[in-house]
A and B are shown apart, each in its own frame.
Chain A
Amino acid sequence: TQLLEQSPQFLSIQEGENLTVYCNSSSVFSSLQWYRQEPGEGPVLLVTVVTGGEVKKLKRLTFQFGDARKDSSLHITAAQPGDTGLYLCAGGGGSNYKLTFGKGTLLTVNP
């Protein structure tokens, strides 16, 4: 069974601060996706990374896939209250037809 561990589980920061959340596994994933979920809603895809060492930027969000494709990080610069939500990482396995999700990092950005 492939498991994804996300840390920290909870993070509360002030507007304007930077933060990094992590997604780690002992398994290799063919691809890794990051989703953001707001209360009462379904997850929404932010990015997919597929190549070891890959870095993708989405405005103030920077995503990195580890060289060995076992871990990933999400860095947010100058966080805003609108960034508040549950950030989930999800790994695609060899068969690639389903995703394994981590438990998520619940981020609160206070104004």
Chain B
Amino acid sequence: DTGVSQDPRHKITKRGQNVTFRCDPISEHNRLYWYRQTLGQGPEFLTYFQNEAQLEKSRLLSDRFSAERPKGSFSTLEIQRTEQGDSAMYLCASSFGPSAGGLTGELFFGEGSRLTVL
């Protein structure tokens, strides 16, 4: 399978614990995105990388959240001191960089990592 893969698919944790999610993008894609989706909502942008550089972080990404993409390959999203409000599906997506016309390419999403904070 050469699609975007995320691990773990499900994570249940107690409030205050740290969790880390991993995303392996499609290998030839240089862009990687993290989105968060809660029940009844569309995905909300968290952050994105072009190669290994983190180019933007949403204000939704508090200082308890940190994302990395060492060597421009896989990425990790860590949440420290989890809160119940962090419960959501964390989606990773990858794409090629902009086309010649500067348009966002198709985003290929992984199946997501569902976090439940008790």
**Roughly how many angstroms separate A48 CA and B95 CA in the complex, as a whole number?**
14
Which B residues are CB-close (under 8 A) to A76?
Answer: none
CB-based contact B112/A42 at 8 Å: yes
CB-based contact A99/B109 at 8 Å: no
Which B residues are CB-close (under 8 A) to A90?
Answer: 42
CB-based contact A88/B104 at 8 Å: no
The size class of the interface chain A forms with chain B is 20 to 34
Given A45-B107, A48-B106, A97-B98, do A104 and B91 touch, yes or no (CB 8 Å)?
A: no
Q: Does B21 contact A (CB under 8 A)?
A: no
| Shortest Cβ distance from residue B97 to the other chain A in the assembled complex, whole angstroms | 9
**Could you write out 23 A-B pairs with CB less than 8 Å apart?**
A31-B104, A33-B107, A40-B112, A40-B114, A42-B91, A42-B110, A43-B107, A43-B109, A44-B109, A45-B106, A48-B103, A48-B106, A50-B103, A90-B42, A92-B103, A92-B104, A97-B50, A97-B55, A98-B56, A98-B104, A100-B45, A101-B43, A101-B44
Residue ranges of A at the interface with B (Cβ–Cβ < 8 Å): 4, 6, 30-31, 33, 40-45, 48, 50, 88, 90, 92, 96-104
